[in-house]
């Protein structure tokens, strides 16, 4: 099977690009037959130092590790192993500077989707004009909202908390606990698409207001980028948008090399990372993406637990 894909990236109103992304090789049939087609996106944390270094390293190590997958290894195991390797690399870099990054990865294999994510970068399932977020953002607001529902906190206090959008899980976290993924294949129809996005997109335009899907994946990524930039949000954060779908839905488009720091509307070479960086903007003002500091992150039902004092082997990961 072949795969169609597109990407768009813009630096926004920041001084540098802290998002990074990459793809596996869709033209490697020997690998695609068992490993499918991989897309990875990471958003370096501007609230910490050198977010661009963390995102770039995480994407490179993740892809390199996933590409060592054997035909016998299951895709969820390979994704978990790649995430562990990326986490280890970011922890090594964190010994030199305080840094961290989100990461979301998706694999299309035949008629199935497999994915894994840490942080708040989003993965959406696109079917017709319906857009559904698949992964859960690891942000402190979910903990606050749960406390409101439990009667432990008032809604007013929860909404006013200054750390509401802080991350509760990210690569580079010493005690990484929250990881979202699926172990059973998620069926994908021939006309479905998958959209990966950093928060520079969905915190500028609410997903409910995304453009209706039309054109090929590259066209759709560019349409979303144009809409985000047209919003002229103050302090616009870096934006990265990826889309992939089965190639038989539309004509397959060959990738071409893109130089770092170019604007959206260009093709990325396979496994080429676009980076450099700065912080994240939120709905109100210019709050930086940073880790939560008020309490230990909670683990919602169905989330993975990692003990990073000793990185766990893949077979210790539990199914949600």
pLDDT digits (tens, 9 = 90+) for 48-74: 557 889 999 999 999 999 999 999 999
pLDDT at 288 over 80: no
The answer to whether residues 80 and 105 touch, using CB atoms and an 8 Å cutoff, is no
Separation between Cα atoms, residue 191 and residue 41, nearest integer Å: 23
CATH number for the domain running over 3-137+168-279: 3.60.40.10
pLDDT at 300 over 50: no
Query: Among candidates 277, 235, 312, which has minimal Cα distance to 9?
Result: 277
Of 99-108, 125-134, 200-209, 283-292, the one with minimum mean pLDDT is 283-292
Residue 199, CB-side half-sphere exposure with 13 Å CA sphere: 28
pLDDT at 16: 83
Q: In what order do the strands lie in the sheet with 193-197?
A: 3-10, 239-246, 193-197, 122-127, 130-133
pLDDT at 290: 54
Alpha helix ranges (H) inside 240-296: none
Cα–Cα distance list, 200 to 162, 183, 209 (Å): 19, 29, 15
Q: Residue 286 — very low, low, confident or very high, per pLDDT cuts 50/70/90?
A: very low
pLDDT at 47: 57
If you search the block for the tokens 């993406």, which residue do you land on? 289
User: Please, what is the angle between helix 75-94 and helix 51-66, to 10°?
Assistant: 150
The answer to whether residues 22 and 273 touch, using CB atoms and an 8 Å cutoff, is yes
Q: Is 147 exposed, middle or buried (0-12, 13-18, 19+ CB in 10 A)?
A: middle
DSSP 8-state class, residue 282 = -
pLDDT at 46: 67
pLDDT at 307: 37
The answer to whether residues 4 and 247 touch, using CB atoms and an 8 Å cutoff, is yes
- Report the pLDDT averaged over residues 145-163: 85
Query: Among candidates 36, 55, 35, 58, which has minimal Cα distance to 45?
Result: 55
DSSP 8-state class, residue 299 = -
Retrieve residue 118's tokens.
């840490």
Helix (H) / strand (E) element for 54: namely helix 51-66
Retrieve residue 91's tokens.
């922890």
Residue 219, CB-side half-sphere exposure with 13 Å CA sphere: 8
Retrieve residue 75's tokens.
């895709």
Instruction: Give pTM, 2 decimals.
Output: 0.78
Retrieve residue 241's tokens.
């948008």
Terminal alpha carbon distance of the chain: 29
pLDDT at 6: 95
């Amino acid at each position: 099977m072949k795969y169609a894909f597109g990407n768009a990236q813009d630096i926004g109103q920041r001084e540098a690009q802290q998002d990074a992304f990459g793809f596996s090789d869709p033209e490697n049939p020997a690998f695609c037959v068992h490993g499918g087609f991989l897309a990875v996106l990471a958003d370096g944390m501007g609230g910490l130092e050198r977010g661009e270094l963390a995102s770039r390293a995480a994407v490179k190590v993740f892809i390199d590790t996933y590409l060592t997958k054997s035909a016998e290894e299951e895709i969820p195991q390979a994704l978990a192993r790649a995430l562990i390797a990326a986490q280890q690399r970011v922890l090594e870099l964190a010994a030199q500077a305080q840094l961290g990054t989100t990461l979301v990865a998706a694999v299309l294999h035949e008629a199935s989707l497999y994915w894994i994510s840490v942080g708040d970068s989003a993965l959406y399932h696109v079917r017709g004009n319906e857009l559904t977020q698949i992964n859960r953002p690891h942000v402190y607001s979910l903990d606050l909202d749960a406390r409101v529902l439990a009667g432990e906190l008032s809604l007013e206090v929860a909404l006013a908390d200054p750390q509401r959008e802080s991350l509760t899980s990210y690569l580079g976290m010493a005690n990484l606990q929250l990881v979202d993924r699926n172990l059973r294949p998620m069926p994908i129809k021939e006309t479905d698409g998958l959209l990966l996005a950093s928060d520079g997109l969905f915190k500028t335009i609410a997903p409910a207001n995304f453009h209706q899907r039309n054109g090929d994946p590259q066209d759709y990524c560019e349409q979303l980028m144009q809409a985000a930039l047209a919003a002229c949000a103050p302090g616009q954060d870096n934006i990265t948008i990826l889309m992939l779908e089965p190639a038989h839905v539309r004509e397959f488009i060959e990738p071409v090399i893109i130089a770092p720091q170019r604007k959206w509307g260009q093709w990325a070479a396979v496994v080429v990372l676009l980076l450099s960086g700065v912080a994240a903007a939120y709905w109100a003002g210019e709050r930086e993406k940073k880790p939560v500091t008020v309490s230990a992150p909670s683990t919602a039902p169905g989330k993975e637990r990692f003990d990073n004092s000793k990185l766990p082997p893949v077979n210790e990961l539990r199914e949600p």
